[in-house]
Amino acid sequence: MDFTNNKVYLITGVAGFIGSFLVKKLLVNEHNLIIGVDNLNGSYDVNLKKFRLQSILKNKNFYFYQINILNFNDMEYLFKKYPISLVIHLAARAGVRSSLEIPELYYRENVIGTLNILKLMTKYNINNIIAASTSSVYNSNSSEIFKESAKISEPSSPYAASKIAMENLLYV
């Protein structure tokens, strides 16, 4: 494939609410090529995720891969195959309540998964990433309005802690 005139986006968490709508917006430009990644896990309704994918799967500039970002080798295949211009990292294990029950899963998916992406970006000389976090990083006990400059060192859940760790990895 010749990607000379294309901007190639790798979007993780593409079957989620934000990811699926972002793809639709980016595909308005016919020169954009979208590589979508989602593991379609059961953290919430898989049928809803599949429904979101249905309309965008028909676009010739969208390629979907059912991959868990924890699988370094599967992710590396994409970095080798496509000349990625920008990574938009939306994949995450979400949910405060269930993070209290299985914190290890949140650490693996949100921290180690992000680290895999960053390692591959370094290896393939990709310098541009947009990553989504959560308002849960701001201590919910505060009555103040959230500001990006607010202190985020006191997470109220394993989910919040994993997203803070993810954010901190982006600075390294």
In terms of pTM, does the model score above 0.75? yes
Active site amino acids: 159
pLDDT digits (tens, 9 = 90+) for 17-34: 999 999 999 999 999 999
Identify any residues that bridge with 35 across adjacent strands, giving them in sequence order.
10, 63
Burial (0-12, 13-18, 19+ Cβ within 10 Å), 27: middle
Cβ atoms of residues 47 and 80 within 8 Å:
no
> Which of the four pLDDT bands, split at 50, 70 and 90, describes residue 108?
very high
The edge-to-edge listing of strands for the beta sheet with 129-131 is: 62-66, 32-38, 7-12, 86-89, 129-131
Instruction: Specify the higher pLDDT residue, 150 or 6.
Output: 6
pLDDT of res. 134: 66
Is residue 96 scored above 80 in pLDDT? Answer: no
**CATH code of domain 7-171:** 3.40.50.720
Residue 142 has pLDDT above 60, yes or no: no
* Range list of β-strands (E), the chain: 7-12, 32-38, 62-66, 86-89, 129-131
| pLDDT band of 141, cuts 50, 70, 90 | low
Structure token digits, residue 100 = 């209290």
Which pair of structure tokens corresponds to residue 58? 């028909």
Residue-level pLDDT at 159: 80
